[in-house]
A and B are shown apart, each in its own frame.
Chain A
Amino acid sequence: MTVPLEDLLKMKPEEIVTHNERPTADQLRNKTQTYYEDVAVGMELPKYIYSPTPTHLFRWSAAIENFHRIHYDLDFGVNHDKNPSILVHGSWKQSVVPQYLKDFTLPKGWPWKAAFEHRAMLVPGDTLIVWATVTNKYEKEGMGFIEMDLGMKTQDGVESMPGSATVVLPLKGGKDIPYPFVPPKD
């Protein structure tokens, strides 16, 4: 059972990280299907907790060939751009979202779509909590659609990436979600 976001935000960062639910490779390999019927409005998804360091940021910059100095050059970021430190990449944040939705829908659901905004600046030393809460569910064309609010909060409760998403889950005893995914007709 995931710890409610409200309770996590009452904890100190060193305690928050002990509630990280990012799955291991073996947990992803053996993930059992969450069905549409298993999900209720108001349900909170597992919390993914991150503690980014300058090295994590550098690794991300290198992986995607993002040369923007605000992400790895502390002197430039602080003295030239007047940022509080080097900054966590928006591109990393938005790449975590599809991963989070994929993990929830595995092995046969589909992480269809997400929308979000980038608000607060995040820096090394922050403890980041990826969260989502189910807001609506409906069936269409034999598939189960789950709508949710999501975001990435800091240890202080600042929402850095408010957004929403829709994922698709199979119905118990229902058909497979088509792959490649074909969205339902309006």
Chain B
Amino acid sequence: MNKKPKSNKSISRVKKVTNPAKERENIIKGKSLGPVNLRKKKTKPALTKVSKKITKTKKFVKDDSKLVKTKDDSKLVKTKDNSKLVKTKDNSVSKKNVKKNKIFTPYKSESVFFKKNVNIDSPIKANLQSAAKKNVQKSGFFSEEQELPSHYGTTNLRLLVRDPFWIYAYWEISETSWKNLTKKLSSNEVEGAKTILRLYEVSLIDFNGKNANHYFDIDVGAYINNWHINLWSDNESYVGEIGIRTQSGDFFALSRSNCVHTPRVGYSPRTEQMWMKFIDETEHSRYIVARVKANKNNKGLGGTNSNYRYRKIIFLTEEDIKNYYEDWQPSLKDVLFKKDSDKQYEKYLLFLEGASEEEREKILSKLPKGYYIKSRQKGASEEMVLVAEEESSSGFFAGASEFASGNFIGASEFFIKDW
């Protein structure tokens, strides 16, 4: 009997991953290129201990149109709604509607309370009606690509400068503001009132609501929430107010905006010159590149490899350079990169840096007695140790000036030799 080879019908758009956490790690480290099967096991979401009011758990459904594997792994089925794919008794797959658990959120985003009894006329009524039709965010449901909310429930007006001659304004008027307004006004006034955006030109003025240079109104209507405003002149300051104006001409503002300044188009008329000198004293522009030991493990002698040496940039201050040139020292390059003599003791040089006092003495005791050491501050923060030979130390006494300059530091003050 010939058996047909099993064909693998699964569509391999989503890689089969056995261990998602490890795969994720591999991606972060760069070992694998993704993607990771990001579906997790359906566990309860982790609640923090502070929450007491929450009684039921939330169920979050991610990106709706993802491919979901069914239980028998034979094909991938798209799920578009909040229903689970469940195997029924006759082993077929059918959808079952899952209950969405609602949750009480005191800081929920605004939902609309629409009262049918309110008997008001045009712009206010229109606003409430349109607000009722807008999307209400369903509780317990989150999709990353859902539309951004069309209203946030606060009344505000904001101005943005676009150009020397154009300003962009956007606003929102919440229902509570409309309600408050209707309480104050009589029905006569409300009828025929228009939603107005008023702009005050307030260049060089401390605006208190009444002392603008001039103002103008724009009849924006109740159905729109932004406007591009064209101006007549540049280099001015504007403050805006959104509100309604009755037929008799009274303007009731609901919100005031921020103050914006339009830029100037041409040269400034002021020609006076003011000058400032600014010297930056924190910058070290001059530096040396030195070979130093990394202070990673301060183990002292012997245990560390020569691999710990690396090149480091040491920034020099004015004092360092002054010190350097005051002494009768050879060039820094020779001192730091000396290659010829004392190779066997080079390693001790480097271990002395950053080592504690005991370790220093340990190291110094290991050197043959004829050697003398000077520890010296080179650069702003690095301390280096130079090894010298015994021979002409006495001869050196006569001519040295650095003894007098007092550059020795540390407890072990030895005499130096110049080479």
Do A and B pair up? The answer is no
A contact residues vs B (CB 8 Å cutoff): none
